[in-house]
Amino acid sequence: MLASGLSTRMTPTSKGELMIWQVPLKTKLLQAAALLTSMAIGAAAVEELHAQAQPPVYFIGEIEVTNPEGYAKEYLPKAQAIIKEHGGQLVAAGGKAGSANPIVGIDGEPPKRVVIYRYPSIDAIHAWRHDPTYEKVRKVGEKYAKYRTFAVVGVSQ
């Protein structure tokens, strides 16, 4: 490296003579920064694609509502807000309290109320279900309903 901040590289010509190329240090630093930035962007893109490859998880709730008015007013709005905070997206809801959508029995007696939520992962479902704020709201909901809930991992498309 020369005192002026230039590095020196010697390259032979076709006649055997040596040519001296001088590349400013600033150029090398910019090239290194560009390379590192490209690597970071590539790593982020791979991570995003990996996350997209994970199938969603579906939370299914069969609910027997004993007091539709109390359930709809005191429990449902608060519960839905907390579910949304944890990445839950309502896919379908039907039956008493909160939705006029009918539940159609195919084999056997249908539940009184059904909800289906899509979550990004089973961990997101557990985080929502064990959130202290939701646990307080759930106690209110249990005054008005009985719950049977479960989750299933979706199929990769």
Quote the pLDDT of residue 156: 80
One domain for residues 44 and 90: no
Domain annotation covers residue 32: yes
Residue type, 93: A
Residue 1 lies in a domain: no
Do 72 and 125 lie in one domain? The reply is: yes
Segment among 5-9, 14-18, 45-49, 119-123 with least mean pLDDT:
5-9
Provide the whole-model pTM. 0.65
Residues 69 and 117 in one domain: yes
**Whether residue 98 has pLDDT greater than 70:** no
pLDDT of residue 54: 86
Cα 135 to the center of its chain, rounded Å: 22
Q: What is the pLDDT of residues 22-40, one digit of tens each?
A: 657 777 777 877 788 888 8
Give the gyration radius of the chain's Cα atoms. Answer: 30
Confidence of residue 16 (pLDDT cuts 50, 70, 90): low
Q: Residue 11 above 80 pLDDT?
A: no
| 39 and 101 part of one domain | no
Q: What is the tens place of the pLDDT at every residue in 48-69?
A: 666 567 899 999 999 999 998 9
Same domain, 44 and 62: no
3-state SS track over the chain: CCCCCEEEEEEECCCCCEEEEEEEHHHHHHHHHHHHHHHHHHHHHHHHHHHHHCCCEEEEEEEEECCHHHHHHHHHHHHHHHHHHCCCEEEEEEECCCCCCCCCCCCCCCCCEEEEEEECCHHHHHHHHCCHHHHHHHHHHCCCEEEEEEEEECCCC
Same domain (yes/no): 28, 97: no
Nearest Cα neighbor of 118 from 63, 53, 76, 57 is: 57
37/102 same-domain check: no
Q: Which domain holds residue 49?
A: 6-53
